[in-house]
Amino acid sequence: MIRFSLSGLKPSTLFRVRGGVHPETRKFLSAGSAIEAMALPALIRVPLQQHIGAPAEPLVKQGDLVLKGQLIGRARGPVSANLHAPTSGKVIAVGHFPAPHPSGLPVPTITLRPDGEDRWGPRLPRLRPEDAAPEEIAARVAEAGIVGMGGATFPAAVKLNLRGKYPLHTLILNAAECEPYLTCDDRLLREHAEEVADGAGIMARALGVARIIVVVESNKPEAASAMRRHNLGMGYPIEVKVVPTQYPMGSEKHMVKAVTGQETPARALTAELGIVVHNAATAHAVHLAVRYGEPLISRVVTVSGRGIARPANVRALIGTPVADLIAHCGGLSGEPEKLLLGGPMMGQPIANLRVPIVKGTNGVLALSPSETHRSAAMPCIRCGSCVQACPCGLTPFELNARIQADDLEGAAEVGLLDCVSCGCCSFICPSNIALVQGFNFAKGRLAEKQARKHQQEETKRLAAARSAREEALAEAKRAAMAKRKAEMAAKKAREAAEAAAQPDGEVVK
C-alpha cells in the first residue's frame, strides 16, 4: 500500500497534470439560469439498473399504489443501490423498457403513473450526524440509494466504508464540472453551498478524515466564492481549490494529481493514497438523506445546446422522460444533429426521447449541426497530437493500429484497459479518427473474449471437479466392494475352520 502525507502542502499549491484539451465550454447557454423545479410528468419510468453493480430487486407489482419516497427496488448484493418512488401514484407496469443507453435495449423497469398529489410516505429516520457513528451514516446513505452523481454512479456507501480498508485522511469534493455545456453542479454550489458543505462534513465524519478540499474550475468564480463563504461542514474546515479550466480536470485521478501532486498508480484506487473523491451533487444528496430522511429521488439536470429553445438547469424526478425535460425548456429549436445524455465528450447518444433520466444523468443536450460539424475520417498521419492530449500517458495511435489489426491482447499490453474514455484523442485528432469509440468497442470485445475464456476455464474446472468426484465415488465403491469381499472370505474361512474343528457326526447349530 502506498501512503503519502499532505501536511507539507500549502493551501494554494497546484500541480501540473498530463495532457488534456480545451474545447469550447459553451456554459454561457445555461450558467445564468437558476435551478427551476419541473412539473410532475405523466409517466415515470424507473430502471432497476441505474448504478454500477447488480440491478435492484423490484418490491412492487402492477396495480400497487405507492407513496413518494417508498422503497420500490431493493439493493441486491454488496455493490448495488436501493430505488425509491419519485412521487405517489400507481404502478402500471413492471417489465422491460428501452434504457438510457446507446444500445436502446430494454431493461427491467418500474413504470409509475403519478396521482398528482405528490404525497410522501414515511421518510427514513433522521440522524444527528454529529453524534452518529460512521457505520450509521454509511448505512443511511445506502438506505437512501445514493450513488455517484457525477456520472460514475458507484454506490456512495461503498466508498464511505473504505475507512476500514485504507488509512484515509482527505475527502475531495469534485465540483470541476469540466464537460462543456454542463452547469448543474455550478448552480448547485451557487444556490445550495451551505447544504453541500454540510453533506461534505457528514461524509468526512463517515470516512474518518480531517481534511476536505472542494475543487472548482476557474470558469466558475461564483461557485468558488459561495463555497468559501461556507467553509465549514459539520465543523470540518473546507479548503476551496480553483484549478485551470481544462478537460478532463474532473477525472478523479487527474484531480487528485492536480491538487495533491500524488499520482494514482494504474488500476489502483485513490483510496490507496488516503484520498476519497465524491461529487458535489452526491454531498447534497447525503445532506438531504441524513438530515431530513429524503432518499435520492430527484436531481439537477442541465438541458442545453443550440437545439434547445430555452437552455436551463432543472430539478427533475428520477425517471422523468427526456421528452418532458425538453418540453419544459420550450422544446427543440429545429432538428438537432445529435441528442446526448451527459456532456459532449463522454455523453451517451440517445435515439428515443421516451427514455428516462437516471441518477447519473447530469445533462440532456440537443446539439445543432454547427456544434457537431466533423469532417470524414482520414488515415492516421502519426502526428502525435493524441499522445500529447492523452491525460493517461498512452499512445492512442498505436492502440488504434493494434485494434485495427484485431490484436486485442497487444492493445491491452500497451494500455487499452488504462484508457478512461475521456475522448481527448478523438477531439484533437486532425484526421478526425473516432479513436475513443474504437477503444470502447475494443474494450467490450476484450471483455467478451475474456468472459468466454473464463467461462471455458470454469467449465473445464467444473468438469474436472465432477470427474474427480465420480472417480472418488467409484474408488469408494471399489474399496467397499473389496472390503465386503474380504469380510465374506474371512467369514467363510472362519466357518470352514469351525467345521473342521467339530467331532465327526456332530451337527453345528
Q: What is the CATH number of the domain that holds 85?
A: 3.40.50.11540
Confidence label for 2 from pLDDT (cuts 50, 70 and 90): very low
For position 508, what pLDDT does the model report? 47
Same domain, 244 and 98: yes
pLDDT at 307 over 50: yes
For position 12, what pLDDT does the model report? 60
For position 497, what pLDDT does the model report? 82
Nearest to 364 by CA among 117, 137, 167, 184: 184
Q: Residue 280, SS3?
A: helix
Same domain, 286 and 409: no
Residue 367 lies in a domain: no
Residue 249 lies in a domain: yes
Mean pLDDT for all residues in the chain: 90
Residue 163 lies in a domain: yes
For position 4, what pLDDT does the model report? 35
For position 123, what pLDDT does the model report? 94
Confidence label for 500 from pLDDT (cuts 50, 70 and 90): confident
Are 341 and 322 in contact by the 8 Å Cβ rule? The answer is yes
For position 487, what pLDDT does the model report? 86
DSSP 68: B
Residue 8 lies in a domain: no
- Mean pLDDT check: name the lowest of 183-197, 209-223, 347-361: 347-361
Confidence label for 492 from pLDDT (cuts 50, 70 and 90): confident
- Tell which wins on pLDDT, 448 or 215: 215
Average pLDDT over residues 265-286: 93
The Cα–Cα gap between 190 and 187 comes to 5
Residue 361 lies in a domain: no
Same domain, 153 and 285: yes
Domain that holds residue 132: 27-114+124-301
Count the residues in the chain.
509
Average pLDDT over residues 97-118: 88
For position 506, what pLDDT does the model report? 52
Q: Which residues of 12-43 are buried (b: 16+ CB within 10 A; e: fewer)?
A: eebeebebbbebebbbebbbebebeebebbeb
Number of domains in the chain: 2
pLDDT at 505 over 60: no
**Domain limit, last residue, from 271, 301, 331:** 301
Average pLDDT over residues 287-298: 97
Residue 276 lies in a domain: yes
**Domain limit, last residue, from 444, 465, 484:** 444
For position 284, what pLDDT does the model report? 97
Q: How much of the chain, in percent, has pLDDT values that exceed 90?
A: 67
Same domain, 57 and 194: yes
Residue 464 lies in a domain: no
Q: Quick: pLDDT tens for 397-440.
A: 999 999 999 998 899 998 898 898 899 999 999 999 989 888 98
Nine-digit cell at 176?
470541476
pLDDT at 76 over 60: yes
**Domain limit, last residue, from 301, 326, 361:** 301
Nine-digit cell at 354?
421516451
pLDDT at 8 over 80: no
Half-sphere CA count of 123, side-chain side, radius 13 A: 15
429 assigned ligand-binding residue? yes
422 assigned ligand-binding residue? yes
- Tell which wins on pLDDT, 10 or 426: 426
Whole-prediction pTM? 0.85
Same domain, 98 and 235: yes
Residue 151 lies in a domain: yes
419 assigned ligand-binding residue? yes
Same domain, 255 and 147: yes
For position 150, what pLDDT does the model report? 87
